[in-house]
Structure 1
Amino acid sequence: MKYMLDLSEAEENKDYGISEDEQNLWLDRQFAEHADWTDLAFRAFVKNFGSSSTFQRVLDTIDSILEKIETGNWKTGKEEKEALKYINDKLLSNSYQAGFSNIEMDVETPEVYRDLKKKKLSDKETKEQLKERLEALKYFLEQPLCRETFIMKSAIYTYINRFWDGKCFLLRSNAKKDMRELFEKEFSNPLRNYIMSEHLKAKELCIDCGMLMDAKEKVSIAFMKDMADDLTRKRSAFWNCKVDAWLCPLCAFVYALSPLGFQLFANKFVFININDSVSSLIKANSKKRKANIQAEKEEGERYTVWFARILNTVLFEKTGELFNIQIILRGVRAEDKYMFSIIQMETLKILKNNTVQKGLACLGKYPYIKIGNDFLNVHETVVLNILQYRNQYALLNKLMRALLDTENGLATAYCVYMIQIWTNRVKQGKETEEITYMGNSISMRNNGYNLRTDIMSAKGTDKDNCLRGTIYQLLNALSVRDEKRFIDIVIRMYNSSHRLMPDGFVYMLGTREQDKEKFLEYGYAFVLGLQGSHPDNKEEK
């Protein structure tokens, strides 16, 4: 509702606003009685889903073809045929044709669409003919009424019907009817009439807001997906088989807007339920996201954008006001259900840590590492590990093994390591012991680097090929937490280099849980040093 009203000409704090206690969104009665609710809703749907709609992709494809023709790069090949087929198939889909039949008398150059139905775009046409047809088609599609109609047709069957169905323009028998007229009849008029009516003698209660309503005004909540069964067929779920899951027209209208409350990232709708205040809730689910539109077009970048958005939402909260945050997800597939996940307070504290934030920011800039023939999204994996209470050691081990085959990725591995040890510090409540805590880990890293330098110098080489077999064995020992095997390999390395074995290795041994954690922290720090991690490393800087 807030997103929709912000897009309108309504004045905030006059026609609508947030209450002083930050717990309600209020509407001015006079404004509510006279507002064109259908127009407001349709504009919001078009604005919200337009950039990710099939309609926009069709326009982008048309622009791409026109650019190729104008620059002389248009050729008759498989790619060009697929592009033309995409335009034909999408614009001539049943839903688009039904939409066109409702507006053809109210738009300019409707013959352009009729001609497309008679003769599809083809790569056999000359460049001049194809250019003329595409330019005419683009002009036709960019008319406001065409844009709204086709975007809505894309949205209702791709996005809106993931939240509610079987009512208004989503009732199968209404597929060819005017969408605005249907919405006005089903939602806007009942809302307006409800606000303007008194309900002194009403007996029915809204299951959501508790307001009184007449029997003829009540709306079944069953039109919302996964909220209730068909109330006319299945009454056994209610006490004494008396159905009371009815919505008032105002709540029904708000429920119809529910797709606007979620943000679309990749193949998931996301809602972040920060419920301490209306302002926090709105800010957490803000639609102001310039970077996402382009990123959503790239399959590989989508989840990174999504995770970055979640982090940004979490991190705007003041440290002293941390609390559990609920994340509500819903997939875009018809069979997907709602999923609920809680980000606990401890997780929020981890994400609040400055070093963790810096590490995630670096990984966000360069999220991918190539391992073999595959690309691993390290940023996504690290965040998932934090959210799902897993440590980063399995990921770190995988990255460090990959370093044996390539020289790239040392800085990424070091970032993951730093995130892990600072995660441990937050869990142990040792965030204030920065110098001591970090000093031991950095010292172990430096010990590994110094030993690396001595061994390579003794071998008379600047390549670390002589160390790779040993590093592989050390990583194996770390992966299964084999302290004896790890220390045995380290002792042999120090004996061959004639260096004294540092005291840090003593603290890695023990039976307590803290000792086991130190074994991993110090062990991985030492192996990172063996692989070249050092303050003077340009890649890490």
Structure 2
Amino acid sequence: MVVKLTLDDAIYNAGVLGLCKIFDHAGLPYKRDGQTIEFKESNLEGFSEHYFSYLIKEHANDTSYAKLISLQIETVKDEKQLTQLNDTIENVKKWLTSNSYKNTYPFLTDVSFDFLEAANKLKKITLKKNQSIEDVQTDIKEMINLLSEIITHLRHPNAKRYLVPRILSYNLIQGFWTNVSFLHKSANKKDIYKTYDEYFTNAALAFLEKKKDEKKYSKNKFHCAACENKMATASEAFDLTWLQRVGVDAARKSSHYWDHQRDIFICPVCNLVYSCLPLGFKMAKGKGFFINNNRSIDELISVNSVSLSDGKQEVTRDELESMAYYKIIDFMINQAESRKEMEIENIQIVKYDRELETRPYTFNILSRNKLMLIDECKREFKKLVGKFIKLNDEYISLYQEVINRLYKGQSFTDLIYQLIRQMIDGKYKDTSSTYNILKISNHQFKGGVHYMTTEDLNKIRSYGYYLKKEYQSQETKLNGISYRLLNALKVKNPSKFMETLLQAYSYKKLSIPTIFTQILNDEKKFQTIGYAFLLGLHGYDGNEEKGENTNE
């Protein structure tokens, strides 16, 4: 029998994408036709093998297992190396005796080694009074040999096959769904492969087998909310209670339904699709994203095919997200070349953050104009990746702050104000990053009357720099001028700004640059010019590139 699935909402589409990735990894054939995929039911036989094989391929490096088998145990010659060895012993013992490891050992039948016994033998080595490293070399060698033996047996394929999925079931999958299959509270000691198939695969295959009886199937009345399938009884259907912060528990909260009667049902096939949800997201350190470009399956797969490596061993969430946007932009450019009249509008970006337990998903829309802004300011955005500032006792990512404002169509001036305020207070020195944000903010007005050229911005910033030099030995007075200018910008008072500026220049018997006359009749230009000038007044030394890597 052929199974047919069509794209729907963002969460379902992420599940469909995860399913496609599993099929591609396993080499299982399926047909992509517009917004629909079709595949034979045989693709689902023993599906757990393909599911966990892809999970291991994508995420094994993010587990304690990967850290364990990559440990380099070296000879100990001094106290510093002994401390490192003891830290390793402590970590290995903690991992080997954790529940995710202990509950998996019974299934490592091909590994003739007792990991728990070995873990109990691991002991930290301490130097007693008047002892030297040479005095404990026998103990050190014993621990090194034991650690090496543990690592050797952990590298057995059967150990990887069971340990990695069990670890990831808690570290990754449980953030997306829980309380069913291998994540049910009664299944923590069961075979993870069998448990998955029993709950997801077997139910889907049994349903498809019943569907072959067309006469009986045509009488089914319960329609799947995600696909064209119909079920004979409500007991044959599933709900979405098990999806984290998505599903409704019909038994406990029937008020969500009209007349308290449950009317949303999911067929066993779509239930399996939703289990692939975690594999549809690109993840980095507990955070991830999914690009819901649902024009077609091909486009959905293409635009989400962002490499996690990018030539690096580890990629941060900001770097991953940045790469995703450039992937979208490249995709748009290619589409524009192949289909001249088509423009991609309103691409939905779904962000996931496991730490936000009450609301792990955020849904944002990127229009073509916003994507073009990202493209045209690519240099500035890239330089914000990995830049942080401490505000209100919390470190925040400048990249995320700017992207979130872009999503919501908000102004960047409040952020620029905070950064410059920190500079004047001596708590922040990264003038370059603040200037990059100002250039992005200014770029929003490109083509309009509020737009300032980069040359003009650099010129204005240099005016601030040269005025700062005039006040070189009068820092207190300069800070007073800066605070008054900043407050005028905050309350959008160009007259007060000009008054302060005239006083500052007159005090040094200097003429005020004519470009400042533009701030009197254009509020947006006023703020752009004002902040550019203040950036020159604090930190800028006339060298465009100097200070790019300065961060505090």
**2:230 matched residue in structure 1:** 212
**2:134 matched residue in structure 1:** none
Equivalent residue for 1:93, pick from 95, 98, 103: 98
Displacement of 1:534 in angstroms is: 7.7
* 1:323 matches 2:345: yes
CA distance in structure 1 between the aligned counterparts of 2:201 and 2:430, rounded to whole angstroms: 57
Displacement of 1:122 in angstroms is: 3.1
**1:413 matched residue in structure 2:** 434
Q: Which moved more, 1:238-247 or 1:176-185?
A: 238-247
CA distance in structure 2 between the aligned counterparts of 1:537 and 1:340, rounded to whole angstroms: 36
Displacement of 1:528 in angstroms is: 3.2
* 1:56 matches 2:53: no
User: Do the aligned partners of 2:286 and 2:353 also contact (CA within 8 Å) in 1?
Assistant: yes
Gaps of 5+ in 2: 1-18, 127-137, 334-341
**1:261 matched residue in structure 2:** 280
User: Do the aligned partners of 1:268 and 1:331 also contact (CA within 8 Å) in 2?
Assistant: yes
User: Do the aligned partners of 1:17 and 1:26 also contact (CA within 8 Å) in 2?
Assistant: yes
**2:22 matched residue in structure 1:** 4
Aligned residues: 504
Once the two structures are superposed, the pairs formed by residues 166-185 of structure 1 within 5 Å of their partners are 166-185=179-198
Displacement of 1:351 in angstroms is: 3.1
CA distance in structure 2 between the aligned counterparts of 1:288 and 1:398, rounded to whole angstroms: 34
CA distance in structure 2 between the aligned counterparts of 1:227 and 1:412, rounded to whole angstroms: 38
Q: Which moved more, 1:220-229 or 1:41-50?
A: 220-229
Gaps of 5+ in 1: 297-301
CA distance in structure 2 between the aligned counterparts of 1:152 and 1:183, rounded to whole angstroms: 11
Letter in 2 for 1:357: K
CA distance in structure 2 between the aligned counterparts of 1:228 and 1:407, rounded to whole angstroms: 44
* 1:387 matches 2:407: yes
Equivalent residue for 1:521, pick from 528, 531, 537: 528
CA distance in structure 2 between the aligned counterparts of 1:321 and 1:71, rounded to whole angstroms: 65
Q: Deviations over 1:104-162 (max 9, x none)?
A: xx223323x14225434433581211111111111111111111211122122232223
* 1:367 matches 2:387: yes
Letter in 2 for 1:91: L
For CA contacts below 8 A with separation 6 or more, give which structure has more relative contact order.
Answer: 2
* Structure 1 pair 400–217 and aligned structure 2 pair: CA distance change class (3 A): closer
Displacement of 1:76 in angstroms is: 4.3
Displacement of 1:240 in angstroms is: 5.5
* Structure 1 pair 508–209 and aligned structure 2 pair: CA distance change class (3 A): same
Q: Deviations over 1:228-262 (max 9, x none)?
A: 44445665544555544332222121111111112
Displacement of 1:422 in angstroms is: 0.9
* Structure 1 pair 233–397 and aligned structure 2 pair: CA distance change class (3 A): closer
Q: Deviations over 1:172-215 (max 9, x none)?
A: 22222222122222222333344455141221432210213444
* Structure 1 pair 534–278 and aligned structure 2 pair: CA distance change class (3 A): farther
* Structure 1 pair 422–206 and aligned structure 2 pair: CA distance change class (3 A): same
Letter in 1 for 2:49: D
**DSSP 3-state at the match of 2:178:** coil
CA RMSD of aligned residues (A): 3.6
Displacement of 1:509 in angstroms is: 1.6
* Structure 1 pair 177–525 and aligned structure 2 pair: CA distance change class (3 A): closer
Displacement of 1:37 in angstroms is: 1.3
Letter in 1 for 2:277: S
CA distance in structure 1 between the aligned counterparts of 2:21 and 2:205, rounded to whole angstroms: 20
User: Do the aligned partners of 2:76 and 2:82 also contact (CA within 8 Å) in 1?
Assistant: no
TM (normalized to structure 1)? 0.80
Q: Deviations over 1:455-485 (max 9, x none)?
A: 36xx8x8x97874443343233323333333
Fraction of identical pairs, as percent: 21
Q: Which moved more, 1:397-406 or 1:249-258?
A: 397-406
Q: Which moved more, 1:485-494 or 1:280-289?
A: 280-289
User: Do the aligned partners of 1:311 and 1:351 also contact (CA within 8 Å) in 2?
Assistant: no
**1:16 matched residue in structure 2:** 30
Q: Which moved more, 1:239-248 or 1:478-487?
A: 239-248
Q: Deviations over 1:246-295 (max 9, x none)?
A: 32222121111111112223333432222222233223433631159844
CA distance in structure 1 between the aligned counterparts of 2:392 and 2:497, rounded to whole angstroms: 27
**1:116 matched residue in structure 2:** 118
* 1:130 matches 2:135: no
Letter in 1 for 2:526: F
Q: Deviations over 1:41-73 (max 9, x none)?
A: 11122223312223223445xx15x14x36767
**DSSP 3-state at the match of 2:290:** strand
* Structure 1 pair 114–438 and aligned structure 2 pair: CA distance change class (3 A): closer
CA distance in structure 2 between the aligned counterparts of 1:168 and 1:500, rounded to whole angstroms: 76
CA distance in structure 2 between the aligned counterparts of 1:422 and 1:287, rounded to whole angstroms: 27
User: Do the aligned partners of 1:508 and 1:518 also contact (CA within 8 Å) in 2?
Assistant: yes
CA distance in structure 1 between the aligned counterparts of 2:422 and 2:249, rounded to whole angstroms: 55
Once the two structures are superposed, the pairs formed by residues 72-471 of structure 1 within 5 Å of their partners are 75-77=81-83, 80-103=85-108, 106-111=109-114, 113-116=115-118, 118-123=120-125, 126-197=139-210, 198-200=212-214, 201-202=216-217, 203=220, 204-215=222-233, 217-231=236-250, 235=254, 237-239=256-258, 242-286=261-305, 288-291=307-310, 294-295=313-314, 302-318=316-332, 321-332=343-354, 335-345=357-367, 348-349=370-371, 351-354=373-376, 356-364=377-385, 367-368=387-388, 377-404=397-424, 405=426, 409-423=430-444, 425-426=445-446, 430=448, 437-438=453-454, 440-452=456-468, 455=470, 467-471=478-482
* Structure 1 pair 307–464 and aligned structure 2 pair: CA distance change class (3 A): farther
User: Do the aligned partners of 1:162 and 1:334 also contact (CA within 8 Å) in 2?
Assistant: no
User: Do the aligned partners of 2:373 and 2:443 also contact (CA within 8 Å) in 1?
Assistant: no
**2:484 matched residue in structure 1:** 473
* Structure 1 pair 334–56 and aligned structure 2 pair: CA distance change class (3 A): farther
* Structure 1 pair 407–293 and aligned structure 2 pair: CA distance change class (3 A): closer
